[in-house]
Amino acid sequence: MHTVAVLSLKGGVGKTTVALGLASAALRRGVRTLVIDLDPQCNATSTLEPDDTEASIYDVLQDPSEDTLRKAIAPSAWGDGVDVLAGSEDAESLNHPDPGETRLGRLREALRLLRDDEEPYQLVLLDCPPSLGQLTRSALVAADRALLVTEPTMFAVAGVQRAFEAVQAEREHNEELQPLGVVVNRVRPRSHEHQFRIDELRDIFGPLVMPVALPDRLAVQQAQGACMPIHEWGTPGAREVALAFNLLLARILRISRSRRRAVHHDFDDQEIEEAVDA
């Protein structure tokens, strides 16, 4: 089970968009996926449209038992293969700035129960809020990889630096946690400012910056507004974004397949073919 925390410490950079895009790519590829909505805004839950659940992430963080976990998970409306651990506005009340090790470990404890399923999830995506309290830190303690999301703007670059520092700090509680990379969202290739910021990110993070960026396309907002996977939207812009998410998913699955393998690599021809075909 590959567990990836999707985070940024600046709001509005498209963190949930990235989590949903990866879920869409996983659905197309047949990778059984669970999306955990830790953001009290619950945008991922709203877009995936699961049936009403008896519990939510709030309850799981209070009582990480198997019974509570099962009550909080429901199939998404996107189709078989993508489930949702429902978000809750009440989770904001749990977002303590200094929660202590017991609270930080509750989500990890819950996810361990999922590993024993007869049909375990192949991918778990944790959509984090844009703040560094119990919710985001719980995700980092539970995850084996952290995907940092940014836009090519000055303030967003500063936010991803803080997120990277948070990942490094949380390794005190989770030695297996590694940064998966930095994905740059809403890129306009003809923008000199965007190219300047991407170069700045590469100076700071080197090979951690993903070799594929997500283009700024209206189709993303349109698909989310219709609560549909980006792979099913069907416009040229949607197909361009969907290909980028295919590549990101291929990278995640390849890196996570062996933890002893180097974290960073360029896409090879076979990986690109698999992503295009997925």
Summarize pLDDT for 217-247 with one digit per residue, the tens.
999 999 999 999 999 999 999 999 999 999 9
Residue 267 is predicted with a pLDDT of 42
- pLDDT of the residue at 260: 39
Task: Provide the pLDDT for residue 256.
Answer: 62
Rounded mean pLDDT of the chain? Answer: 90
Q: Work out the average pLDDT over 255-260.
A: 56
Sign of the dihedral through C-alpha 264, 115, 276, 237: negative
Q: Please tell me the distance from the alpha carbon of residue 127 to that of residue 113, in angstroms, as a whole number.
A: 19
Secondary structure string (H, E, C) spanning the chain: CEEEEEECCCCCCCHHHHHHHHHHHHHHHCCCEEEEECCCCCHHHHHHCCCCCCCCHHHHHHCCCHHHHHHHEEECCCCCCEEEECCCHHHHHHCCCCCCHHHHCHHHHHHHHHCCCCCCCCEEEEECCCCCCHHHHHHHHHCCEEEEEECCCHHHHHHHHHHHHHHHHHCCCCCCCEEEEEEECCECCCCHHHHHHHHHHHHHHHHHECCCCCECCHHHHHHHHCCCCHHHCCCHHHHHHHHHHHHHHHHHHHHHHCCCCCCCCCCCHHHHHHHHHC
15 C-beta neighbours (distance < 10 Å), count: 28
pLDDT of residue 257: 59
Res 126: pLDDT: 98
In this model, does residue 264 exceed pLDDT 60?
no
What mean pLDDT comes out for the span 254-278?
49
Per-residue confidence band for 277, with pLDDT thresholds at 50, 70 and 90? low
CB contact at 8 A, 18 and 146:
no
Per residue in 109-162, pLDDT (tens digit) is 999 998 877 678 999 999 999 999 999 999 999 999 999 999 999 888 888 999
Looking at residue 265, what is its pLDDT? 43
Q: How far, in Å, CA of 70 to CA of 6, rounded? A: 23
pTM: 0.91
The tens digit of pLDDT for each residue in 53-107 reads 999 999 999 999 999 999 999 999 999 999 999 999 999 999 998 888 899 999 9
The reported pLDDT for the residue numbered 43 is 97
**Which residues are 183's β-sheet partners?**
149
For residue 179, the model assigns a pLDDT of: 92
178 pLDDT band (50/70/90 cuts)? very high
